[in-house]
Amino acid sequence: MTRRPAPYAVAVGGAIAITAAIGVVTAIGRISGLSAFYLLLVLWLGARWGRGPAVAGSISAFALYDFFFVPPVGTLTVRGPAELLELVVLLAVALVTSQLAASQRRAQATAEALAKDSRALYELATSMLRSQDVTAALGMVAESADRLKGVSRFAVVGMVSGQLVFLAGKQLSADEMSQAQWSYANGKAVGVAIKDGVVVPLKLHGVPTQMAYLPLAGGVAALRVDANNSEPGDLRTVAALIGLADLLLDRRRAVLETERARGFEASDRLKAAILSSLSHELKSPIAALRAGLTALTAPRAGLEPEQRELLTDMDRQAARLDRMVGDMLALSRLEAGVELDREPHAFADIVGGSLRGLRSQMAGHDVALRIPDDLPPVEVDELQAGRVVSNLVENALEWAPATGAIEIGAVAREGRLEAWVENEGPEIAPEDLDRVFDTFWTRRARGTGLGLAISKRVVEAHGGTIRAENRRRGPRFTFTLPLAGVTAGRAHADKSTDK
């Protein structure tokens, strides 16, 4: 750095001027302590220009005071120890004063630089927060970094679907993007570090000016920093800009996740609307078809036995189609959040109603009920809870052997009812224990993949849980339902009173 001569000329000239003033005063009368004026000069020089001019002023004051006022006058020698001590004290005080003034000046300059950087960062952060476009805000960060003397390149890349994409700053080459990808994947900085809020460049293989990479929350900051050419405060400002970029990338990731969730929600609503519409449109034609098939299978239709058998099989297929459409309609209503009609019910009554509808299918199976007589009632939608039991029992009948056993049980546990349906038969593959409740997923060739999905949604709508597990003799499906606060008999009596 080139030193300006003007401050040193002022230092020497000021010392000469004070010497002349002291000479005028001593000619009038002898006054002690006039050397303190030199200290005022040194203090002013240190505060104004720093240590160099202040030291120059101190040495000039020492030499001039010795030459003109310390006996023997007119020489740079001293007469005795007292005069020597006076000169040494003057020089020492002048040097200390210059150092203190210079330190104060440096501290003031640093504070002013920090205040300036803080104002700039505050204005930048305010502009970014007002901007709705995160990419544009990142562009502001990159422009601010490029204006710094010690930063020759600055870029920000973000993560999208597992890959980094360029977002702002100066374009990166394919190799540089690969380096950024490695830095993000491994969570390791390359060529740079941030310590105590300051960017610290690191030399790699003897090349101090190559690109550096710093992994952030949702991407990577790529930059090239030359600490030798940077101005005071630049490296601290770069660290602050990287912090702002980190916040913006995190905000961008949150926006992307919100948009993705909204897309899934809209897709689910559209699917539910289509299922509901199709189900309503198919209900009437299927009912008419079944009515016609029933009429044709009547004896008065005059059909041959083979024809009646064919029509009966067609009626069974129409009934299966009707059941499938009903399941689709029920699923769409559950996903739409239809309100449940909850009332206290005895779980044994719900199970009994479901089994009566499956009496013909249970022929030959050993169905065991494990439901205590003192089991508290459950507060559920009776129709939907019965659908859960029917679906699970139908699933058990499908997979149990022709004469296989099926167990239906329930216990009260921790303020909830825990019920299960278990059957003899092949176990469920471990990787499928969670997938069995997915919509349209089924292990059966003629299955719809809706029964267990509906059961899961009904149970969850009641605030319960459902799971599948493999037991010693076969699969078991366990679900929970909320217990009611009154007994089933009490609830029935209350209804009778209301009537």
Q: Quick: pLDDT tens for 265-288.
A: 777 677 667 766 766 677 678 777
Q: Across-strand partners of 478?
A: 420, 467
Phi, psi of 164, rounded to the nearest 5 degrees? -85, 135
Same domain, 388 and 320: no
**Is the pLDDT reported for residue 208 higher than 50?**
no
Same domain, 360 and 443: yes
- Alpha-carbon gap, residue 314 to 291, rounded angstroms: 12
More confident residue, 208 or 377: 377
pLDDT for position 111: 64
Instruction: Report the CATH number that the domain containing residue 455 is assigned in CATH.
Output: 3.30.565.10
**Is the pLDDT reported for residue 491 higher than 60?**
no
Same domain, 349 and 441: yes
More confident residue, 80 or 220: 220
Tokens 């240590």 belong to 51
**Is the pLDDT reported for residue 159 higher than 70?**
yes
Average pLDDT over residues 371-377: 94
Decide: 224 and 212 in contact? Cβ < 8 Å.
yes
pLDDT for position 296: 80
Q: How does strand 342-345 pair with strand 378-381?
A: antiparallel
**Is the pLDDT reported for residue 86 higher than 70?**
no
Same domain, 365 and 473: yes
In 3D space, the residue among 229, 193, 230 whose CA is nearest the CA of residue 213 turns out to be 193
Sheet of 366-370: strand order equals: 366-370, 405-413, 416-423, 475-482, 466-470
CA 89 to chain centre: 65
**Is the pLDDT reported for residue 91 higher than 60?**
yes
Same domain, 190 and 313: no
Decide: 461 and 467 in contact? Cβ < 8 Å.
no
- Alpha-carbon gap, residue 18 to 35, rounded angstroms: 9
Instruction: Report the CATH number that the domain containing residue 286 is assigned in CATH.
Output: 1.10.287.130
Same domain, 287 and 379: no
Tokens 């471990």 belong to 430
pLDDT for position 127: 66
Same domain, 162 and 213: yes
Same domain, 144 and 283: no
Same domain, 324 and 351: no
Domain boundary, last residue among 335, 354, 372: 335
Question: Residue 125 falls within a domain, yes or no?
Answer: no
In 3D space, the residue among 33, 52, 47 whose CA is nearest the CA of residue 90 turns out to be 33
Question: Residue 115 falls within a domain, yes or no?
Answer: no
Domain boundary, last residue among 286, 320, 335: 335
**Is the pLDDT reported for residue 317 higher than 80?**
no
Average pLDDT over residues 41-60: 77
Instruction: Report the CATH number that the domain containing residue 154 is assigned in CATH.
Output: 3.30.450.30
Question: Residue 138 falls within a domain, yes or no?
Answer: yes
Distances (CA, A) of 188 to 178, 221, 223, 239: 14, 12, 15, 16
In this prediction, residue 442 has a pLDDT band, given cuts at 50, 70 and 90, of confident
Considering the entire predicted model, what is its pTM?
A: 0.45
Same domain, 299 and 383: no
Return the percentage of the chain with pLDDT > 70, whole number: 80
In 3D space, the residue among 49, 45, 39 whose CA is nearest the CA of residue 94 turns out to be 39
Domain boundary, last residue among 224, 252, 280: 252
Residues 287-310 pLDDT 10s: 778 788 777 877 777 778 888 788
Backbone dihedral region for residue 370 (phi beyond 0: left; psi -120 to 50: alpha; all else: beta): beta
Question: Residue 122 falls within a domain, yes or no?
Answer: no
* Number of domains comprising the chain: 4
Decide: 145 and 223 in contact? Cβ < 8 Å.
yes
In this prediction, residue 467 has a pLDDT band, given cuts at 50, 70 and 90, of very high
Average pLDDT over residues 383-406: 91
- Alpha-carbon gap, residue 494 to 343, rounded angstroms: 12
Question: Residue 126 falls within a domain, yes or no?
Answer: no
More confident residue, 244 or 393: 393
pLDDT for position 490: 40
Average pLDDT over residues 403-418: 93
Question: Residue 26 falls within a domain, yes or no?
Answer: yes
Question: Residue 374 falls within a domain, yes or no?
Answer: yes
How much is the mean pLDDT over the chain? 79
Question: Residue 148 falls within a domain, yes or no?
Answer: yes
Burial profile 405-437: b = 16 or more Cβ within 10 angstroms, e = fewer: bbbbbbeeeeebbbbbbbbbbeebeeeeeeebb
Side chain identity, residue 384: Q
More confident residue, 222 or 107: 222
Q: Which domain holds residue 279?
A: 269-335
Q: Return all residues near 458 (Cβ < 8 A) that are at least 6 apart.
A: 334, 381, 384, 385, 387, 388
For residue 20 the two structure tokens come to 């002349």
Average pLDDT over residues 234-250: 81
Residues 355-370 pLDDT 10s: 998 988 898 899 999 9
Burial profile 345-364: b = 16 or more Cβ within 10 angstroms, e = fewer: bbbbebbebbbeebeeebee
Tokens 């059909």 belong to 303
Same domain, 294 and 315: yes
Residues 6-46 pLDDT 10s: 888 888 898 899 888 888 888 787 777 777 787 778 778 77
**Is the pLDDT reported for residue 344 higher than 50?**
yes
**Is the pLDDT reported for residue 495 higher than 50?**
no
Same domain, 274 and 231: no
